[in-house]
Structure 1
Amino acid sequence: MLFPETVSKLSDLKPGTTADVFALLSSKKQDVTKAGKPFYKCTFRDADREAAVMVWSDSGHFADCEANWTKGAFYKLRGTYEENNYGPQLNLDKIRPVQPADVDAGFNEADFFETSRFDPENMFRALTSLCEDKIEDGPLRAVVLKVLNDRAEAFKKWPAASRNHHAFAGGLLEHTLSVVRTTVWLCEKYEGLYPNLSPPLCADAAIAGATLHDVGKLEELDGSPAGAEYTSTGRLLGHIVIGRDWLRDAAAWQADQPGGPVDRELLLRTEHVVISHHGIREYGSPAEPHTPEALIVQHADELDAKYSMLADSLSQASGGGPFTPFSKQFGKPIFRGLSETA
């Protein structure tokens, strides 16, 4: 099946545009309609946009999708791009796997993997330096650095999520560093505002917990640059439990090291930050925040995730006017500004 030579970028398409694009199949999920008929929801993407392709059982593409379409593979598609309350979609006309000759038409695998804007080596050094400088308790500092250094290479490339926020290579490290920096600032602010708080805010537990709050995602997600999916362990346990277990394992190791074990209450407060950082049980936290440091990390984490989603909504939205199209993440459009009025 031959396509015309002109190929557009998926992320450049405007609603109503019919075009040929190269795209990565980042997700393929089977489901059934209310009538019991099977269908597939597939997600195709380049580095800057993803769009859903619905493949219904009566579609001419259903058998091909079921048997041949492979997550992580590249395809050349022809379709019409649309946006609605369910997000970007591509109404598919034709599809075939990318071929070697497509390089001459501009295909390059590197164009399809979104990565952090920041160098991962620099981010990891910044994160470990913050822990070394700001965690005053020696045994707790050693525990946190062990968890990080034992998983350094994965941490530098893992996404923070399968979708929504920081869902790109290096996203977990970018998000964690941002949360830790915010936590350090908030601890210094509130220690100054409430110098007589009893018991005092435990900055060591806050910073250690912020550093490790999402570390369990290294096992919860498969880390694929094609679009991370949940592992079996991730689905059955979740990153909060995994991360808390790694913290405990490192603390058990530290008990036999120079400096001795981590103080019992300090470790308990740090564990509490990790398990409560989603804020409420409905969002997956085994416990809700019961300490000042847990409250700080909960909001530092939530703000960084939501600000990332808001920035994506503003940067990726098409069309003109003072508001973006409806944002699924926020349940409303985002205000661009009066100057954006068409």
Structure 2
Amino acid sequence: MIDDLLELTEENQSFQGLGLIRSAQLGQTKKGDPFYNVSFAKGKKEIPVKIWSDQIEGREEEVKEILQEGSVIFIEGDTSKFRDQLQMTARAFRKADDHEYTLGDFLETAPEPIGSMQEELNEYLEEIVDPLVKEIVSSIYERYKKPFSQYPAAVKNHHSFIGGLLYHTVCMIRLGKDICTRYPTINPDFIIGGIVLHDAAKVLEYTDAIAPQYSMPGEFIGHISMSSMLVDREKERILREREEKLTALEQEAVYHLQHCILSHHGKTEWGSPVEPKSLEAHIIHLIDMIDSRVNMIDRGLAEAEEGAFTNVFPLGKLYKPYSK
């Protein structure tokens, strides 16, 4: 019998222990019976759990109350494999008592300290030369600094952990600054500013940092458009304080900053309202792809067998080389 989720590695293992609910979705079988798909986690370890109708019928409201995202529960279950992925079927479950756990033990966090990344990002903001771009970017970051430093960069797949948004942003700027040193035609202001703001509205798109789901504005509008809206609101604030119009160059800078945000997914079919039309916008899109893919692959292969191919959703089969 295994009591630590981190020790579940193969099928036909029995488990009795605690885990964090990252998501719980109610479904229905072809026969019309209810069941739950639960994402059960501890730190980096996450395993899908099936809770079938025999565990639900007659206690629907109680089960709904227990299976709340962000809650820690106790599960008894058995592991199996489905499409080469480990999963578990619950035999019994209950809400964990407060004295049974420390929440921090079940949360995955960024691999670098939050404080040091905040300091690093502040240094990058100071490097922005254009005063208007600097004011807009710095003001938005300062307003949302706390959630920006706690929220994940995605609900799943990449950087989906506490501090993931900040870590993703800092890693992208590191790459961007290195590229700037190699190609002198790049304007670093828009690389730094565009990267800081490209995902900024994820603090509005998601409901919380621990077990994030999509908020109403997140569903209706999405972080890309909302991030651009934050820039526009900041520009309007500056205009009210100035009581004068922007110069032509200043207005162009605002449009360019918004464009870097709006085009960072690269293609309209990938969610970008517009496609990249500047050097800086293309670079930000490519850096975003690199950093998200590296994180997705590293996490997907973390517990994979060396010298073998493993399915990593949504990228398909990937090979993990033998370590030296």
TM-score by length of 1: 0.85
Residue 62 and residue 114 in structure 1: after superposition, are their counterparts in 2 closer, same or farther (change >3 A)?
farther
What residue in structure 2 maps to residue 208 of structure 1?
A: 193
Give the deviation of 1:260 after TM superposition.
7.9
Supply the distance in 2 between the matched residues of 1:37 and 1:20 (Cα, whole angstroms): 25
Aligned mate of 1:31, from 11, 27, 31: 27
Residue 187 and residue 255 in structure 1: after superposition, are their counterparts in 2 closer, same or farther (change >3 A)?
farther
State the superposition RMSD in angstroms. Answer: 2.3
Contact kept in structure 2, 1:215 and 1:243, CA below 8 Å: yes
Supply the distance in 1 between the matched residues of 2:48 and 2:56 (Cα, whole angstroms): 14
Contact kept in structure 1, 2:157 and 2:313, CA below 8 Å: no
Residue 301 and residue 157 in structure 1: after superposition, are their counterparts in 2 closer, same or farther (change >3 A)?
same
Larger displacement relative to structure 2 (9-18 or 81-90): 81-90
Q: How does 1:51-62 map to 2 (within 5 A)?
A: 51-57=47-53, 59-62=54-57
Q: How does 1:70-219 map to 2 (within 5 A)?
A: 70-71=67-68, 72-85=70-83, 87-99=85-97, 103=100, 107-133=101-127, 135-191=128-184, 200-219=185-204
What residue in structure 2 maps to residue 197 of structure 1?
A: none
Contact kept in structure 2, 1:75 and 1:97, CA below 8 Å: yes
Structure 1: unaligned runs, 5 residues or longer? 1-5, 192-199
Give the partner amino acid of 1:265: E
What residue in structure 2 maps to residue 247 of structure 1?
A: 231
Residue 204 and residue 338 in structure 1: after superposition, are their counterparts in 2 closer, same or farther (change >3 A)?
closer
Contact kept in structure 2, 1:18 and 1:80, CA below 8 Å: yes
3-state SS, counterpart of residue 255 of structure 1: helix
Larger displacement relative to structure 2 (250-259 or 82-91): 250-259
Contact kept in structure 1, 2:72 and 2:95, CA below 8 Å: yes
- Does 1:296 pair with 2:283? yes
Give the partner amino acid of 1:95: F
Aligned mate of 1:277, from 259, 264, 278: 264
Contact kept in structure 2, 1:83 and 1:89, CA below 8 Å: yes
3-state SS, counterpart of residue 154 of structure 2: coil
Q: Per-residue CA shift, 1:69-123, capped at 9, x if unaligned?
A: 231222221112234337331121221222356x4xxx43221111112222221
Contact kept in structure 2, 1:48 and 1:316, CA below 8 Å: no
Give the deviation of 1:263 after TM superposition.
0.7
Residue 338 and residue 181 in structure 1: after superposition, are their counterparts in 2 closer, same or farther (change >3 A)?
closer
Supply the distance in 1 between the matched residues of 2:303 and 2:241 (Cα, whole angstroms): 50
Give the deviation of 1:189 after TM superposition.
1.5
Contact kept in structure 1, 2:150 and 2:209, CA below 8 Å: no
What residue in structure 2 maps to residue 195 of structure 1?
A: none
Aligned mate of 2:214, from 230, 235, 258: 230
Supply the distance in 1 between the matched residues of 2:167 and 2:76 (Cα, whole angstroms): 35
Give the deviation of 1:8 after TM superposition.
2.1
Supply the distance in 2 between the matched residues of 1:19 and 1:64 (Cα, whole angstroms): 23
Supply the distance in 2 between the matched residues of 1:300 and 1:322 (Cα, whole angstroms): 28
Residue 327 and residue 251 in structure 1: after superposition, are their counterparts in 2 closer, same or farther (change >3 A)?
same
3-state SS, counterpart of residue 89 of structure 2: strand
Give the partner amino acid of 1:266: A
Larger displacement relative to structure 2 (230-239 or 71-80): 71-80
Give the deviation of 1:174 after TM superposition.
0.5
Residue 161 and residue 222 in structure 1: after superposition, are their counterparts in 2 closer, same or farther (change >3 A)?
same
Supply the distance in 1 between the matched residues of 2:52 and 2:15 (Cα, whole angstroms): 21
Supply the distance in 1 between the matched residues of 2:35 and 2:84 (Cα, whole angstroms): 16
Supply the distance in 2 between the matched residues of 1:95 and 1:37 (Cα, whole angstroms): 19
Supply the distance in 1 between the matched residues of 2:46 and 2:59 (Cα, whole angstroms): 21
Supply the distance in 1 between the matched residues of 2:43 and 2:253 (Cα, whole angstroms): 42
Give the partner amino acid of 1:156: S
Contact kept in structure 1, 2:9 and 2:86, CA below 8 Å: no
The percent of aligned pairs where both chains have the same amino acid is 26
Supply the distance in 2 between the matched residues of 1:203 and 1:109 (Cα, whole angstroms): 40
Supply the distance in 2 between the matched residues of 1:183 and 1:275 (Cα, whole angstroms): 18
Supply the distance in 1 between the matched residues of 2:58 and 2:268 (Cα, whole angstroms): 41
Give the deviation of 1:249 after TM superposition.
1.1
Number of aligned residue pairs: 317
Contact kept in structure 1, 2:40 and 2:47, CA below 8 Å: yes
3-state SS, counterpart of residue 297 of structure 1: helix
Greater per-residue strand proportion: 2
Give the deviation of 1:25 after TM superposition.
1.8
Supply the distance in 2 between the matched residues of 1:63 and 1:327 (Cα, whole angstroms): 37
Residue 32 and residue 122 in structure 1: after superposition, are their counterparts in 2 closer, same or farther (change >3 A)?
same
Supply the distance in 1 between the matched residues of 2:232 and 2:193 (Cα, whole angstroms): 13
3-state SS, counterpart of residue 168 of structure 1: coil
Give the deviation of 1:126 after TM superposition.
1.0
TM-score by length of 2: 0.90
Contact kept in structure 2, 1:313 and 1:324, CA below 8 Å: no
3-state SS, counterpart of residue 31 of structure 1: strand
Give the partner amino acid of 1:152: K
